[in-house]
Protein backbone atom coordinates (compact mmCIF):
# COMPACT_ATOMS: atom_id res chain seq x y z
CA UNK A 1 0.00 0.00 0.00
CA UNK A 2 2.81 2.33 0.88
CA UNK A 3 4.43 1.73 -2.52
CA UNK A 4 1.15 2.32 -4.35
CA UNK A 5 0.62 5.65 -2.63
CA UNK A 6 4.16 6.67 -3.29
CA UNK A 7 3.68 5.84 -6.95
CA UNK A 8 0.51 7.97 -7.06
CA UNK A 9 2.42 10.76 -5.43
CA UNK A 10 5.25 10.55 -7.95
CA UNK A 11 2.73 10.41 -10.78
CA UNK A 12 1.00 13.50 -9.43
CA UNK A 13 4.33 15.33 -9.38
CA UNK A 14 4.88 14.23 -12.94
CA UNK A 15 1.48 15.59 -13.98
CA UNK A 16 2.08 18.89 -12.27
CA UNK A 17 5.59 19.21 -13.65
CA UNK A 18 4.26 18.73 -17.18
CA UNK A 19 1.72 21.52 -16.82
CA UNK A 20 3.03 25.03 -17.23
CA UNK A 21 -0.30 26.70 -16.53
CA UNK A 22 0.39 28.51 -13.24
CA UNK A 23 -3.31 28.58 -12.36
CA UNK A 24 -3.49 24.80 -12.17
CA UNK A 25 -0.10 24.11 -10.63
CA UNK A 26 -0.24 22.69 -7.10
CA UNK A 27 1.18 24.62 -4.21
CA UNK A 28 2.50 23.89 -0.77
CA UNK A 29 -0.62 23.72 1.41
CA UNK A 30 0.77 21.65 4.27
CA UNK A 31 3.77 23.05 6.07
CA UNK A 32 4.18 20.38 8.72
CA UNK A 33 2.43 17.27 10.08
CA UNK A 34 2.97 15.59 13.42
CA UNK A 35 1.04 12.72 14.91
CA UNK A 36 0.44 11.13 18.29
CA UNK A 37 -0.72 7.63 19.21
CA UNK A 38 -3.62 6.21 21.17
CA UNK A 39 -5.47 2.89 21.14
CA UNK A 40 -6.72 2.51 17.54
CA UNK A 41 -6.47 6.25 17.07
CA UNK A 42 -4.14 8.85 15.66
CA UNK A 43 -4.12 12.54 16.47
CA UNK A 44 -2.73 14.75 13.71
CA UNK A 45 -1.38 18.23 14.28
CA UNK A 46 -1.20 19.96 10.90
CA UNK A 47 0.29 23.35 10.06
CA UNK A 48 -1.46 24.65 6.96
CA UNK A 49 -0.49 27.45 4.62
CA UNK A 50 -2.17 30.80 5.11
CA UNK A 51 -4.23 30.49 1.92
CA UNK A 52 -5.81 27.17 2.98
CA UNK A 53 -9.52 27.17 3.79
CA UNK A 54 -10.06 23.41 3.88
CA UNK A 55 -7.94 20.47 5.01
CA UNK A 56 -8.43 17.03 3.46
CA UNK A 57 -7.04 13.83 4.96
CA UNK A 58 -7.24 10.59 3.03
CA UNK A 59 -6.68 7.85 5.60
CA UNK A 60 -7.20 5.00 3.13
CA UNK A 61 -10.70 3.88 4.14
CA UNK A 62 -11.59 7.18 5.81
CA UNK A 63 -11.68 10.56 4.12
CA UNK A 64 -11.94 13.60 6.33
CA UNK A 65 -12.43 17.21 5.26
CA UNK A 66 -12.72 20.13 7.58
CA UNK A 67 -12.75 23.86 7.12
CA UNK A 68 -9.76 25.61 8.56
CA UNK A 69 -9.10 29.08 9.83
CA UNK A 70 -6.41 30.68 7.81
CA UNK A 71 -2.90 29.75 8.92
CA UNK A 72 -4.00 28.12 12.16
CA UNK A 73 -2.58 24.71 13.19
CA UNK A 74 -5.24 22.05 12.90
CA UNK A 75 -5.89 19.02 15.10
CA UNK A 76 -7.65 15.99 13.69
CA UNK A 77 -8.33 12.74 15.52
CA UNK A 78 -8.84 9.70 13.31
CA UNK A 79 -10.51 6.88 15.22
CA UNK A 80 -11.29 3.25 14.49
CA UNK A 81 -8.11 2.60 12.57
CA UNK A 82 -6.82 -0.90 12.05
CA UNK A 83 -3.62 -1.78 13.79
CA UNK A 84 -0.58 -1.63 11.55
CA UNK A 85 1.11 0.66 9.03
CA UNK A 86 -0.93 3.26 7.19
CA UNK A 87 -0.31 5.96 4.64
CA UNK A 88 -2.09 9.27 5.01
CA UNK A 89 -2.45 11.73 2.14
CA UNK A 90 -3.06 15.32 3.14
CA UNK A 91 -4.04 18.24 0.94
CA UNK A 92 -5.57 21.66 1.40
CA UNK A 93 -7.91 23.72 -0.72
CA UNK A 94 -7.70 27.45 -1.08
CA UNK A 95 -10.60 29.88 -1.57
CA UNK A 96 -10.54 29.20 -5.32
CA UNK A 97 -10.92 25.47 -4.85
CA UNK A 98 -7.37 24.79 -5.87
CA UNK A 99 -5.91 21.59 -4.36
CA UNK A 100 -2.43 21.75 -2.91
CA UNK A 101 0.33 19.29 -3.59
CA UNK A 102 -0.35 16.13 -1.59
CA UNK A 103 1.73 15.47 1.46
CA UNK A 104 2.27 11.80 2.27
CA UNK A 105 2.53 10.92 5.94
CA UNK A 106 3.37 7.44 7.23
CA UNK A 107 2.01 6.23 10.54
CA UNK A 108 1.78 3.08 12.61
CA UNK A 109 -1.39 2.49 14.59
CA UNK A 110 -1.29 0.52 17.86
CA UNK A 111 -4.31 -1.48 18.92
CA UNK A 112 -5.49 -4.86 20.10
CA UNK A 113 -2.32 -6.80 19.29
CA UNK A 114 -0.16 -4.29 21.09
CA UNK A 115 -2.49 -4.36 24.09
CA UNK A 116 -2.08 -8.13 24.38
CA UNK A 117 1.55 -7.57 25.33
CA UNK A 118 0.65 -5.32 28.26
CA UNK A 119 0.57 -6.47 31.84
CA UNK A 120 0.79 -5.04 35.29
CA UNK A 121 4.37 -4.32 36.16
CA UNK A 122 4.08 -6.16 39.43
CA UNK A 123 7.10 -5.80 41.66
CA UNK A 124 9.14 -8.98 41.77
CA UNK A 125 10.95 -7.95 44.91
CA UNK A 126 11.30 -5.10 47.30
CA UNK A 127 13.79 -3.55 49.62
CA UNK A 128 13.67 -0.99 52.35
CA UNK A 129 16.49 1.52 52.73
CA UNK A 130 16.73 4.88 54.45
CA UNK A 131 12.99 5.32 54.79
CA UNK A 132 12.31 4.36 51.18
CA UNK A 133 10.53 1.36 49.76
CA UNK A 134 12.29 0.19 46.63
CA UNK A 135 10.19 -1.90 44.30
CA UNK A 136 12.11 -4.09 41.92
CA UNK A 137 10.58 -4.86 38.54
CA UNK A 138 11.43 -6.92 35.55
CA UNK A 139 12.15 -4.65 32.61
CA UNK A 140 9.20 -4.05 30.31
CA UNK A 141 9.58 -5.56 26.86
CA UNK A 142 11.15 -3.57 24.05
CA UNK A 143 7.74 -2.76 22.54
CA UNK A 144 7.19 -0.19 25.24
CA UNK A 145 8.78 3.19 25.50
CA UNK A 146 7.83 3.63 29.12
CA UNK A 147 5.04 2.86 31.50
CA UNK A 148 3.25 4.76 34.17
CA UNK A 149 2.91 3.04 37.49
CA UNK A 150 0.02 4.44 39.42
CA UNK A 151 -0.09 3.25 42.99
CA UNK A 152 -2.82 4.05 45.39
CA UNK A 153 -3.21 3.67 49.09
CA UNK A 154 -6.63 2.33 49.87
CA UNK A 155 -9.09 5.18 49.80
CA UNK A 156 -6.55 7.78 48.75
CA UNK A 157 -5.72 9.51 45.51
CA UNK A 158 -3.34 7.73 43.18
CA UNK A 159 0.23 8.82 42.76
CA UNK A 160 1.68 8.32 39.30
CA UNK A 161 5.32 7.69 38.51
CA UNK A 162 6.80 7.33 35.08
CA UNK A 163 8.90 4.26 34.67
CA UNK A 164 11.05 3.82 31.61
CA UNK A 165 10.79 0.46 29.89
CA UNK A 166 14.25 -0.57 31.04
CA UNK A 167 13.83 0.77 34.59
CA UNK A 168 13.78 -1.99 37.16
CA UNK A 169 13.42 0.00 40.36
CA UNK A 170 10.92 2.46 41.77
CA UNK A 171 11.60 4.16 45.09
CA UNK A 172 8.77 5.47 47.22
CA UNK A 173 8.88 7.53 50.37
CA UNK A 174 6.29 8.12 53.07
CA UNK A 175 4.72 4.74 52.69
CA UNK A 176 2.12 3.62 55.18
CA UNK A 177 3.00 -0.03 55.73
CA UNK A 178 -0.33 -0.82 57.35
CA UNK A 179 -2.40 -0.24 54.22
CA UNK A 180 -2.90 -2.28 51.13
CA UNK A 181 -1.88 -0.77 47.80
CA UNK A 182 -2.95 -1.11 44.24
CA UNK A 183 -0.55 -0.97 41.33
CA UNK A 184 -1.94 0.10 37.97
CA UNK A 185 0.24 0.04 34.88
CA UNK A 186 -0.22 2.13 31.76
CA UNK A 187 1.96 1.81 28.71
CA UNK A 188 3.19 4.08 25.96
CA UNK A 189 4.44 2.53 22.72
CA UNK A 190 6.22 5.74 21.66
CA UNK A 191 7.19 9.13 23.01
CA UNK A 192 4.24 10.52 21.07
CA UNK A 193 1.51 8.69 23.00
CA UNK A 194 -1.36 10.93 24.06
CA UNK A 195 -3.61 8.33 25.69
CA UNK A 196 -1.88 5.56 27.60
CA UNK A 197 -2.62 1.91 26.99
CA UNK A 198 -4.12 0.11 29.95
CA UNK A 199 -2.09 -2.79 31.33
CA UNK A 200 -4.41 -3.56 34.25
CA UNK A 201 -4.06 -3.38 37.99
CA UNK A 202 -3.15 -5.58 40.90
CA UNK A 203 -3.70 -5.30 44.61
CA UNK A 204 -0.58 -5.32 46.74
CA UNK A 205 -0.28 -6.19 50.39
CA UNK A 206 2.49 -4.06 51.77
CA UNK A 207 2.01 -4.59 55.45
CA UNK A 208 3.77 -7.93 55.39
CA UNK A 209 6.12 -8.92 52.62
CA UNK A 210 7.10 -12.48 53.31
CA UNK A 211 10.48 -13.59 52.01
CA UNK A 212 12.63 -16.53 52.95
CA UNK A 213 15.33 -15.61 55.40
CA UNK A 214 18.76 -16.44 54.02
CA UNK A 215 19.94 -19.76 55.39
CA UNK A 216 23.54 -18.60 55.60
CA UNK A 217 22.58 -15.88 58.07
CA UNK A 218 21.33 -18.43 60.59
CA UNK A 219 23.79 -19.86 63.10
CA UNK A 220 23.65 -22.19 66.04
CA UNK A 221 23.34 -20.84 69.56
CA UNK A 222 23.60 -23.14 72.53
CA UNK A 223 22.17 -21.90 75.80
CA UNK A 224 23.03 -23.90 78.89
CA UNK A 225 19.66 -25.61 79.25
CA UNK A 226 19.21 -26.20 75.51
CA UNK A 227 19.47 -29.62 73.97
CA UNK A 228 22.23 -29.72 71.36
CA UNK A 229 20.38 -32.31 69.29
CA UNK A 230 23.75 -33.92 68.70
CA UNK A 231 22.88 -37.54 69.24
CA UNK A 232 23.35 -39.96 66.33
CA UNK A 233 25.40 -37.42 64.38
CA UNK A 234 22.88 -34.59 64.61
CA UNK A 235 23.19 -30.95 65.68
CA UNK A 236 21.27 -27.68 65.81
CA UNK A 237 23.42 -26.47 62.91
CA UNK A 238 21.92 -29.09 60.62
CA UNK A 239 18.50 -27.48 61.01
CA UNK A 240 19.33 -24.57 58.72
CA UNK A 241 21.88 -25.86 56.22
CA UNK A 242 19.33 -26.24 53.43
CA UNK A 243 19.71 -30.03 53.34
CA UNK A 244 16.73 -32.27 53.98
CA UNK A 245 17.73 -35.90 53.94
CA UNK A 246 17.65 -38.84 56.28
CA UNK A 247 21.24 -38.31 57.46
CA UNK A 248 21.03 -34.56 58.15
CA UNK A 249 19.08 -33.76 61.30
CA UNK A 250 18.68 -32.59 64.83
CA UNK A 251 18.41 -35.68 67.03
CA UNK A 252 17.72 -35.75 70.76
CA UNK A 253 19.63 -38.43 72.65
CA UNK A 254 18.58 -41.22 74.97
CA UNK A 255 19.24 -39.02 77.99
CA UNK A 256 16.98 -36.27 76.68
CA UNK A 257 13.60 -35.77 78.24
CA UNK A 258 10.93 -33.97 76.27
CA UNK A 259 10.00 -31.19 76.32
CA UNK A 260 13.30 -29.60 75.37
CA UNK A 261 14.53 -26.38 73.81
CA UNK A 262 17.06 -25.16 71.28
CA UNK A 263 18.02 -21.68 70.10
CA UNK A 264 19.18 -20.11 66.83
CA UNK A 265 20.57 -16.71 65.81
CA UNK A 266 18.95 -15.24 62.68
CA UNK A 267 21.91 -12.92 62.16
CA UNK A 268 19.89 -9.70 62.42
CA UNK A 269 16.72 -8.43 63.99
CA UNK A 270 13.72 -9.44 61.90
CA UNK A 271 9.97 -9.62 62.01
CA UNK A 272 9.35 -13.33 61.88
CA UNK A 273 6.29 -14.32 59.84
CA UNK A 274 6.59 -18.07 59.41
CA UNK A 275 8.64 -21.13 60.27
CA UNK A 276 8.52 -24.33 58.25
CA UNK A 277 9.80 -27.39 60.08
CA UNK A 278 10.65 -30.37 57.91
CA UNK A 279 10.73 -33.80 59.44
CA UNK A 280 13.81 -35.90 59.07
CA UNK A 281 12.60 -37.81 56.02
CA UNK A 282 10.75 -40.92 57.14
CA UNK A 283 10.59 -39.77 60.76
CA UNK A 284 7.59 -37.47 60.91
CA UNK A 285 6.42 -39.37 63.98
CA UNK A 286 9.34 -37.79 65.85
CA UNK A 287 8.24 -34.25 65.18
CA UNK A 288 6.96 -32.26 68.14
CA UNK A 289 3.26 -32.16 68.96
CA UNK A 290 3.54 -28.59 70.12
CA UNK A 291 5.99 -25.74 69.58
CA UNK A 292 6.31 -22.66 71.78
CA UNK A 293 8.37 -19.93 70.09
CA UNK A 294 10.21 -17.07 71.79
CA UNK A 295 12.23 -14.17 70.49
CA UNK A 296 14.93 -11.91 71.94
CA UNK A 297 16.88 -9.02 70.46
CA UNK A 298 20.10 -9.96 72.26
CA UNK A 299 21.44 -12.62 74.60
CA UNK A 300 22.55 -10.34 77.43
CA UNK A 301 21.30 -12.00 80.62
CA UNK A 302 19.13 -14.25 78.44
CA UNK A 303 20.31 -17.57 79.93
CA UNK A 304 17.75 -19.53 81.93
CA UNK A 305 18.05 -22.24 84.58
CA UNK A 306 14.51 -23.48 85.10
CA UNK A 307 13.51 -26.70 83.39
CA UNK A 308 11.17 -26.13 80.50
CA UNK A 309 9.14 -29.15 81.63
CA UNK A 310 7.07 -26.80 83.79
CA UNK A 311 5.88 -24.40 81.13
CA UNK A 312 4.50 -21.76 83.51
CA UNK A 313 7.56 -21.66 85.72
CA UNK A 314 9.91 -21.71 82.76
CA UNK A 315 8.06 -18.92 80.94
CA UNK A 316 8.12 -16.81 84.09
CA UNK A 317 11.90 -16.97 84.06
CA UNK A 318 12.06 -16.55 80.28
CA UNK A 319 9.96 -13.36 80.39
CA UNK A 320 12.00 -12.03 83.30
CA UNK A 321 15.09 -12.48 81.09
CA UNK A 322 13.59 -10.46 78.28
CA UNK A 323 12.28 -13.23 76.04
CA UNK A 324 9.00 -12.50 74.27
CA UNK A 325 6.60 -15.20 73.25
CA UNK A 326 6.11 -15.02 69.51
CA UNK A 327 3.55 -17.79 69.33
CA UNK A 328 2.85 -21.46 69.60
CA UNK A 329 1.22 -24.18 67.62
CA UNK A 330 -0.52 -27.35 68.71
CA UNK A 331 -0.22 -29.64 65.72
CA UNK A 332 -3.65 -31.15 65.19
CA UNK A 333 -2.86 -34.14 63.03
CA UNK A 334 -0.44 -36.97 63.73
CA UNK A 335 2.81 -36.40 61.84
CA UNK A 336 4.29 -39.26 59.87
CA UNK A 337 6.73 -39.83 57.04
CA UNK A 338 8.11 -36.67 55.40
CA UNK A 339 5.80 -34.26 57.24
CA UNK A 340 6.27 -30.51 57.33
CA UNK A 341 4.94 -28.36 60.14
CA UNK A 342 4.15 -24.78 59.14
CA UNK A 343 3.93 -22.19 61.88
CA UNK A 344 2.58 -18.78 60.86
CA UNK A 345 2.76 -15.69 62.98
CA UNK A 346 -0.23 -13.94 61.47
CA UNK A 347 -0.42 -11.16 64.00
CA UNK A 348 3.13 -10.09 63.40
CA UNK A 349 5.62 -9.89 66.22
CA UNK A 350 8.09 -7.42 67.58
CA UNK A 351 11.54 -7.69 66.15
CA UNK A 352 13.69 -10.56 67.28
CA UNK A 353 17.10 -11.89 66.37
CA UNK A 354 17.38 -14.92 68.60
CA UNK A 355 14.66 -17.54 68.36
CA UNK A 356 14.21 -20.13 71.08
CA UNK A 357 11.96 -23.07 70.36
CA UNK A 358 10.40 -25.36 72.92
CA UNK A 359 9.31 -28.72 71.57
CA UNK A 360 6.79 -30.83 73.46
CA UNK A 361 6.21 -34.55 73.24
CA UNK A 362 6.62 -36.21 69.89
CA UNK A 363 4.04 -38.32 68.10
CA UNK A 364 5.92 -41.50 68.87
CA UNK A 365 5.90 -40.72 72.61
CA UNK A 366 9.61 -41.60 72.72
CA UNK A 367 12.46 -39.46 74.04
CA UNK A 368 13.72 -38.90 70.51
CA UNK A 369 12.99 -35.64 68.85
CA UNK A 370 13.99 -35.60 65.18
CA UNK A 371 13.84 -32.47 63.01
CA UNK A 372 15.19 -32.26 59.48
CA UNK A 373 15.31 -28.57 58.61
CA UNK A 374 13.83 -25.23 59.65
CA UNK A 375 13.15 -22.46 57.14
CA UNK A 376 12.40 -18.99 58.44
CA UNK A 377 10.29 -16.43 56.61
CA UNK A 378 10.52 -12.78 57.56
CA UNK A 379 8.95 -9.45 56.64
CA UNK A 380 11.19 -7.97 53.93
CA UNK A 381 10.29 -4.39 54.79
CA UNK A 382 10.75 -4.74 58.52
CA UNK A 383 12.82 -1.88 59.74
CA UNK A 384 13.98 -1.79 63.32
Residues that bind Ca ion (CB under 5 A): 238, 241, 243, 248, 373
Closest to Ca ion by CB, 111 vs 372, is 372
- In terms of CB distance, is 24 or 241 closer to Ca ion? 241
> Residue 258, SS3?
coil
Give whichever of 184 and 238 is closer to Ca ion, judged by the CB atom: 238
Closer of 45 and 243 to Ca ion (Cβ) = 243
C-beta neighbour count of 333 within 10 angstroms? 8
In the complex, which residue's CB is closest to Ca ion?
373
Residue of 7, 27, 189 lying closest to 114 (CA atoms):
189
Do you find a cis peptide bond into 259, omega within 30 degrees of 0?
yes
* Shortest reach from residue 359's CB to Ca ion, in Å: 16
Please, what is the minimum distance in Å from the beta carbon of residue 379 to Ca ion? 24
Q: How far is the CB of 233 from Ca ion (least distance, A)?
A: 12
Q: Which is nearer to Ca ion, 238 or 289 (CB)?
A: 238
* Pairwise CA distance, residues 38 & 356, whole Å: 59
Compute the Cα dihedral for 11, 17, 19, 22 and give only its sign.
positive
We find the least distance from the C-beta atom of residue 265 to Ca ion, in angstroms, to be 16
Least distance between Ca ion and beta carbon 239 (Å): 6
* Under 8 Å between Cβ of 43 and 64: no
Give the nearest distance from C-beta 142 to Ca ion in angstroms.
43
Residue 54 CB-density burial (10 A; 0-12 exposed, 13-18 middle, 19+ buried): middle
Helix (H) or strand (E) holding 382: none
Q: Which residue, 113 or 241, has its beta carbon nearer to Ca ion?
A: 241
The 3-state secondary structure of 38-78, one letter per residue = EECEEEEEEEECCCEEEEEEECCCCEEEEECCCCCCEEEEE
Amino acid sequence: MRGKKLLLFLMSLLVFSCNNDDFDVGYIGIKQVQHMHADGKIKLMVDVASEAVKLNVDAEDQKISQNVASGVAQTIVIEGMEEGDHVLTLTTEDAHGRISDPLIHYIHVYGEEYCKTLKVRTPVGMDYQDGKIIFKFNAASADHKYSLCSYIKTGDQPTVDTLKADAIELSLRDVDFTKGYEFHSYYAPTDRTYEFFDGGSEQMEWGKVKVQHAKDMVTEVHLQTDDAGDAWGGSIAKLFDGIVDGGNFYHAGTESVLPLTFTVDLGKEVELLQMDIDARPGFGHRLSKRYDIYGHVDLINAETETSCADLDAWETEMFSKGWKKIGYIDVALAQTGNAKTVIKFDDGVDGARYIRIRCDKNWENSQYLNLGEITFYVNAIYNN
